[in-house]
């Protein structure tokens, strides 16, 4: 068994694709219509052959989804946490939940929220 991907339902697919590709630097691997009801966009990390995030737009949805109290976040490992935070700040339109900081183990991290409010953690391990 191996992990494939996480799926989020989103309200505005193009806005979400823009966030993940143009702001976070991920890649749109493919967009697939699911009949007349929905469209899936698969987002990947550059160099990883398997897209790890599936964004689903249900065409008839008009209101934001409730995220639920059990969901927490997805996480990405990065080499230069400060450079990423600066790039996201310059890009604008990114909601920072926290700024780069160290935790007791020495690992550094910060959180942002995507356009639908999903939490994303960036981790720099030394």
The pLDDT tens digits for 43-81 are 999 999 999 999 999 999 999 998 887 788 999 999 999
CATH number of the domain to which 115 belongs: 3.10.180.10
Within this chain, do residues 59 and 97 fall inside the same structural domain, yes or no? no
Question: 66: which DSSP letter?
Answer: P
Within this chain, do residues 16 and 41 fall inside the same structural domain, yes or no? yes
Within this chain, do residues 10 and 54 fall inside the same structural domain, yes or no? yes
Within this chain, do residues 77 and 113 fall inside the same structural domain, yes or no? yes
Within this chain, do residues 38 and 80 fall inside the same structural domain, yes or no? no
Model confidence band, residue 113 (pLDDT cutoffs 50, 70, 90): very high
Q: What is the pTM of this model?
A: 0.86
| 50 within 8 A of 3, measured Cβ to Cβ | no
Round the CA-based radius of gyration of the chain to a whole number and report it.
15
Backbone phi, then psi, for 28, in 5-degree steps?
-80, 115
For 42-61, letters b (16+ CB in 10 Å) and e give bbbbeeeeebbbbbbbeeee
Predicted local distance difference test score (pLDDT) of residue 45: 95
Distance (Å) of CA 5 to CA 62, 94, 101: 25, 23, 28
Domain range enclosing 57? 1-63
Within this chain, do residues 88 and 42 fall inside the same structural domain, yes or no? no
Which of 63, 90, 112 lies at the terminal end of a domain, its last residue? 63
Predicted local distance difference test score (pLDDT) of residue 8: 92
Predicted local distance difference test score (pLDDT) of residue 3: 81
Could you give the residue numbers annotated as active site? 121
Residue 126 pLDDT > 80: no
Domain count for the chain, please give it.
2
Q: Across-strand partners of 122?
A: 76, 110
Number of helices (H), then strands (E), in the chain: 2, 9
Q: Which residue has the tokens 């639920």?
A: 68
């Amino acid at each position: 068994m191996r992990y494939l991907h996480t799926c989020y339902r989103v309200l505005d697919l193009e806005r979400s694709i823009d966030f993940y590709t143009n702001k976070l630097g991920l890649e749109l691997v493919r967009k697939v219509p699911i009949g007349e009801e929905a469209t899936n966009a698969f987002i990947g990390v550059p160099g990883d052959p398997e897209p790890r995030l599936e964004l689903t737009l249900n065409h008839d949805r008009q209101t934001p989804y409730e995220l639920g109290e059990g969901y927490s976040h997805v996480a990405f490992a990065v080499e230069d946490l400060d450079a990423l935070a600066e790039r996201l700040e310059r890009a604008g339109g990114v909601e920072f939940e926290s700024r780069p900081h160290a935790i007791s183990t020495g690992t550094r991290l910060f959180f942002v929220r995507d356009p639908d409010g999903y939490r994303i953690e960036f981790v720099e391990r030394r």
